[in-house]
Structure 1
Amino acid sequence: MSTPLVTDDLAAGPADQVLTLAEAARRADGTAPLSEHTLLRVRHGAPSGSARFHVLSEEGRVVGFAFVERGADEPDAGEVVVHPGHRGRGHGTALLHSVHRDAGPHGVRVWAHGRTPGAVAVAEQDGWRSVRELHKMRMPLRDLAADERGGPRTAPVLHEPVLRPEVADRVQVRAFVVGQDERAWLDANARAFSHHPEQGRLTLDDLLQREIEDWFDPHGFFLATAKDGRVTAFHWTKVHADGAGLTDGGPAGEVYAVGVDPDWQGTGLGRALTLKGLLHLRDAGLPWVHLYVDGDNEAAVRLYTSLGFEIWDTDVMYAPPEGPAARA
């Protein structure tokens, strides 16, 4: 069994191989092993000192990979993937040990996306324990026949959003304008997700990288703005051309990010902006929409359930065994 190479920067060759590896795992497992954020780091690199890449190779080919985002005042967050044709050889365990040994002062935690049996087995056999869950919820946007993924479904009725009278004359709901709204949105996102370990740390570079992705569409990125230009709430939608596991090849939608400035919480803007984006995706002809929500965010789960979403799958974050011997 090889020892992973640990680096702050990926060369172009290994980066391309990691992307190919991730796609092979997605096809085999039915779920993406690496998040969008990680894939962007693989393609574009990471700011100095912010991340670590763990690359496991055999005969010059990448067969296993882990990415770890460094945490400032919290544990690092990582993801691990092993090529389907090279599993059962201890590569997953080797990568877990590598990210554990290389962890920052607050330790490390690793995601198992889709809670696939192989990933769960590797983590639990090595003594890692579940510490966080991220639910994946889905909802049909139109009535689906029995041959659609998930069987016959009746789409819930989506009503046009109506702003409450006390906020209707204080905000404007409009689409995001590239080159104008980046800073205001970043401020709102940081405030809305100040306690979120991933979303709340997005930078201008992170936003600009997403703006050049093929899926980015400012017409599906909705803002509620106050008269002073401040973003009070937002709903960023996304269309997955590959169906994101919800369809057999056709596109599907995502509630990519919904946020409300803390000063505007309780005003109904979150629900109104959510409906605005869902109607946009429905009117685009998409059959399904999905989203991710933390398992302990009961208010958000209730909101999405009331709109017609159901829990479809769950990602699990694992923490390593405690004690000094665990990093050996």
Structure 2
Amino acid sequence: MPPAPPSDATHTTGHAGRRAIAGSDLELTFTTRGDVGELELGGIGPVELVAAAVGAVDAVRTAHPEVAFHLAADHPVDVLDPLPEALADAAGLPHRRDLLQLRRQLPVPPDHPSRRGAPPVALRPIDLEGHGRPDLAEDDPDIDRPWDDPDGWPPDVGAWLRVNNRAFADHPDQGAETVETLVERRRGEPDDAGFLVADDPARPGELSGFCWTKVHPATDEDPELGEIYVIGVDPSHRGEGLGVSFVLGGLDHLASRGIGTANLYVEADNEPALRLYDRLGFTAHQRRRVYTA
């Protein structure tokens, strides 16, 4: 980890920043989307750092009073690190939600059992601009398009918003996407080749689902990772086995880019999804715990 900045310095770029935890080389990073934000504790430290960590949390909250923050921290699969547990309690974030990071090696062999019986799907890259994809920079003239009117954007934008928000209607993070949040989430992505969608043959102009992948550069701790970021199946197609096909399509795309390890996050209590990913050869690598008020 690079040297931490001075403990009284907050560094902010757009909707992200970091805050050092005094007396350690740990940092608290933060991101915001509208009036919600995430604080992430990077690394493992002794529980004695909790007072300094609370100070960092309070500093970020003071700087962004309009944002409701939650805390996220990574733990081993079967053991909880005491520092984030104590920090969450001290910061008034008593509720816990667990995500598991799963991984598998790529490619998925052609004769892998998960491929048997998977319905064929035709996945294609999403078309967010109708004619390729311009850089979504701060000065992008397309940002002047109407945020509240998907019809002012290419057809895939509205189609994806509809299928996503139907698929995740009951999900706390994913079920209320808008044009604005989509553009924000795509900002900095090099291209749309890994954002794969499937047209619905029974409903022209609609999507049966999608598999959104991301690529994460190698770090000191991890190899280059290809993430299955989000998969969604329209409720009208549930029970058809499309989820397996979408994940396999995403994994095959990542393997075609030379990526050797895939990962994804899943709710720890989502038994149907865990069974699906077990069939696809994923195993648990890490636990991410999210702490909320």
Q: TM-score scaled by structure 1? A: 0.61
| SS of 1:134 mapped into structure 2 | strand
Shift of 1:257: 0.6
Q: CA separation of 1:16/1:308 partners in 2, compared to 1, >3 Å: closer, same or farther?
A: same
Specify whether residues 81 and 307 from structure 1 end up closer, same or farther in structure 2 by C-alpha distance, changes over 3 A only.
closer
Mark the CA change 1:17 to 1:204 in structure 2 (over 3 Å): closer, same or farther. closer
Q: Any unmatched runs of 5+ in structure 1?
A: 5-12, 52-68, 70-76, 144-153, 321-328
2:212 to 236, 248, 256: 236
Instruction: Read off the aligned partner of 1:286 and give its amino acid letter.
Output: I
Matched, 1:112 2:52: no
Spell out, residue by residue over 1:126-153, the C-alpha distance to the aligned partner (whole angstroms, 9 max, x if none). Answer: 675453111111111159xxxxxxxxxx
* 2:54 paired with 1:93: yes
What do the CA deviations read for 1:16-58 (whole angstroms, capped 9, x no partner)? Answer: 499563799xxx67xx9657xx2xx4xxxx5xxx42xxxxxxx
Identity %: 29
Tell me if structure 2 keeps the 8 A contact 1:244–1:252.
Answer: no
Superposition map of 1:1-328 within 5 A:
14-16=11-13, 21=18, 34=29, 38=31, 41=32, 46=33, 50-51=34-35, 69=36, 78-81=38-41, 88=49, 90-94=51-55, 110-115=70-75, 116-124=81-89, 128-141=93-106, 157=112, 164=119, 172-179=122-129, 180=154, 181-213=156-188, 215-227=189-201, 228-243=204-219, 245-247=221-223, 251-319=224-292
Structure 2: gaps spanning 5 or more residues: 1-7, 76-80, 130-153
- 1:225–1:22: structure 2 CA closer, same or farther, 3 Å change rule? farther
Alignment-derived partner of residue 78 in structure 2: none
> 1:95 Cα shift?
5.4
Supply the AA of the counterpart residue of 1:224.
A
4+ residue stretches of structure 1 with deviation over 4 A?
Answer: 17-20, 32-35, 80-85, 95-100, 124-128, 158-163
- What's the Cα RMSD here? 4.2
Give the alignment's TM-score, normalised by structure 2: 0.68
Quote the offset at 1:296 in angstroms.
Answer: 1.6
Question: How far off its partner does 1:90 sit?
Answer: 2.3
Q: Does the aligned pair in 2 maintain the 1:161–1:273 contact within 8 Å?
A: no
| Partner residue in 1 for 2:3 | none
Q: Comparing both structures, which one devotes a greater share of its residues to helix?
A: 1
- Greater RCO (Cα-Cα under 8 Å, separation 6 or more): 2
Amino acid at match of 1:225: D
Whether contact under 8 Å (2:126, 2:195) holds in the other structure is: yes
Alpha-carbon distance, 1:200 to partner: 1.4
Answer yes or no: is the 8 Å Cα contact 2:194–2:253 preserved in 1: yes
Matched-pair contact (CA < 8 Å) for 1:160–1:276: no
